[in-house]
């Protein structure tokens, strides 16, 4: 066993023995099940249909207890411009279907038992856990693969292993503790310049919404490609030599662990809200730029509850402070979500365009063209307000509006709603490979525009 492998083994053993976690595929016995939950794709054609369905949604929400999911947007939002999907609990589905038949609303049943899809996702992860890929010593010794979804303990072991295996390329930093005491890590990847000149930087993060497992899997895949192919791929070598990457593989580890243990579709953080039984805040509505102005709820039981005040969540405070510390160095900020296959630019809180919208949009088009060339996956490009919905207090709008980073994007990964948040593990590798093609286009533009020879 060589020194790197022995050192990584010691680090990973220490993390594993300290946590004493259950096996990765063993959720709690009292975990919420989604038996009989239905996903409907709907197409509305009139303002009246929009109003009736919105009113029904609000009526259902008022009757919900402790934030229990009974009617929720699955893809997009209720509108008449484009199709969208709703997730319906068994007790709500008949009312929605009755409204559809009465008002002539077009619909298609995507799934009639969501628990079977959840079981399939987990089964795919177990059956495809072996792969012929050589993902490097850090992945091998930490148990990290991209053929399945892993728990946070495995992701953290992988993060800790990276600077041991790649000390010339990688450093890691603790950004802060979550509400439940987990570390939020940032990985800095880049070859220091021999002349000491500071390099332009790119920020990548994932996992701010707990249920969006593919986001973290995709970002860690891209991180691994950068470190393991540095010596063999000339494009990757150029990126790592001329750009510093700051990568946060998991913004919300508390919520992420909860989706593995208790409630697969949980979205928020896990902080206790004072005087309320509903747990957590939508961390992507909790930034101080245009906080609570658009599509951010004041009611703690709503999935888009933006908190009692900006940066109420320790995870957000940690990222906020680091991004501000890097102000001036960061030339691109990309936050990864799922799903819908969207490459979105600022802003979400308004339909007004930024002064540099044309150049930022053009680069997004180039990135999605490169992405599509690999597997034919089509991503739409536009502002969040244009192609998804209005939203405020987001990390994307903060990065653009508060820190003036030039190339800021939210990327909603695969798919367009069939599996949604439950994307099978067999799609992790294709998602990682195609997304990396898009990110490379962004990084090459940063080099051309900002790197100094």
Q: Which of 215-229, 269-283, 367-381 has the lowest mean pLDDT?
A: 269-283
Using CA atoms, how far apart are residues 438 and 344, in angstroms rounded to an integer?
A: 13
Q: How many CB atoms lie within 10 A of CB 77?
A: 15
Q: Are strands 342-345 and 407-413 parallel, antiparallel or unpaired?
A: antiparallel
pLDDT digit string, tens, across residues 120-151? 886 544 544 445 678 999 999 999 999 999 99
In angstroms, how far is CA 266 from the centroid of its own chain? 13
User: In the prediction, which pLDDT does 26 show?
Assistant: 62
Compare 209 and 18 and report the one with higher pLDDT: 209
**Residue-level pLDDT at 21:** 44
**What is the spatial distance between Cα 188 and Cα 198, in angstroms, rounded to a whole number?**
14
What is the pLDDT, as a whole number, of residue 415?
96
**Overall average pLDDT of the 428-443 stretch:** 98
> At residue 386, does pLDDT exceed 60?
yes
pLDDT of residue 65: 61
* Cα–Cα dist 82/76, whole Å: 9
**What is the overall mean pLDDT for the chain?**
91
The span from the CA of 350 to the CA of 385, in Å, is 6
Instruction: Give the pLDDT mean for 249-273.
Output: 97
Q: What is the pLDDT, as a whole number, of residue 299?
A: 85
Whether the pLDDT of residue 255 is over 50: the answer is yes
Give the confidence band of 92 by pLDDT, cuts at 50, 70, 90: very high
Per-residue confidence band for 293, with pLDDT thresholds at 50, 70 and 90: confident
Q: How far apart are CA 88 and CA 82, in angstroms?
A: 19
Considering the candidates 58, 412, 426, 449, report the single residue annotated as catalytic: 412
38-47, 62-71, 190-199 — most confident range: 38-47
pLDDT of residue 41 exceeding 60, the answer is yes
Question: How far is Cα 223 from Cα 228, in angstroms, rounded to an integer?
Answer: 9
User: Does the pLDDT at position 375 exceed 60?
Assistant: yes
C-alpha 49 chain-centroid distance: 32
Among this protein's residues, is 412 annotated catalytic? yes
């Amino acid at each position: 066993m060589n020194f790197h492998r022995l050192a990584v083994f010691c680090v990973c053993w220490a993390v594993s023995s300290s946590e004493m976690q259950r096996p990765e595929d063993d959720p709690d016995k009292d975990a919420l099940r989604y038996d009989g939950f239905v996903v409907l794709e709907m197409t509305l054609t009139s303002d009246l249909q929009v109003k009736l369905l919105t009113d029904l949604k609000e009526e259902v929400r008022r009757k919900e207890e402790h934030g229990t999911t009974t009617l929720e947007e699955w893809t997009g939002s209720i509108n008449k411009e484009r199709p969208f999907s709703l997730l319906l609990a068994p007790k709500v589905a008949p009312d929605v279907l009755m409204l559809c038949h009465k008002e002539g609303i077009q619909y298609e049943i995507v799934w009639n038992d969501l628990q079977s899809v959840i079981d399939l996702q987990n089964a795919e992860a177990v059956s495809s856990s072996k792969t012929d890929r050589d993902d490097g010593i850090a992945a091998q010794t930490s148990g990290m693969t991209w053929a399945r979804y892993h728990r946070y303990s495995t992701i953290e072991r992988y993060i800790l292993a990276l600077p041991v295996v790649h000390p010339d390329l990688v450093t890691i930093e603790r950004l802060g503790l979550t509400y439940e005491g987990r570390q939020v890590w940032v990985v800095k990847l880049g070859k220091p310049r021999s002349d000491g000149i500071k390099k332009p930087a790119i920020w990548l993060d994932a996992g701010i919404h707990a249920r969006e497992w593919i986001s973290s899997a995709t970002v860690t895949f891209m991180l691994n490609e950068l470190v393991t192919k540095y010596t063999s791929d000339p494009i990757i070598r150029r990126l790592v030599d001329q750009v510093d990457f700051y990568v946060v593989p998991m913004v919300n580890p508390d919520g992420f662990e909860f989706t593995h243990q208790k409630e697969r579709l949980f979205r928020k953080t896990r902080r206790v809200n004072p005087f309320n039984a509903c747990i957590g805040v939508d961390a992507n509505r909790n930034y101080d730029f245009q906080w609570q102005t658009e599509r951010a709820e004041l009611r703690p039981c709503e999935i888009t509850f933006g908190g009692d005040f900006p940066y109420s969540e320790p995870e957000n405070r940690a990222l906020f402070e680091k991004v501000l510390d890097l102000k001036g160095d960061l030339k691109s900020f990309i936050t990864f979500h799922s799903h819908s296959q969207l490459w979105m630019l600022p802003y979400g809180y308004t339909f007004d365009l930024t002064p540099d919208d044309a150049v930022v949009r053009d680069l997004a088009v180039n990135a999605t063209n490169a992405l599509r060339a690999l597997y034919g996956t089509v991503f739409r490009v536009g502002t969040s307000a244009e192609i998804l919905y209005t939203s405020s207090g987001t990390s994307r709008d903060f990065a653009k509006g508060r820190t003036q980073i030039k190339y800021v994007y939210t990327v909603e990964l695969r798919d367009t709603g069939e599996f949604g948040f439950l994307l099978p593990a067999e799609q992790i590798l294709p998602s990682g490979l195609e997304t990396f093609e898009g990110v490379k286009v962004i990084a090459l533009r940063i080099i051309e525009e900002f790197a100094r020879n």
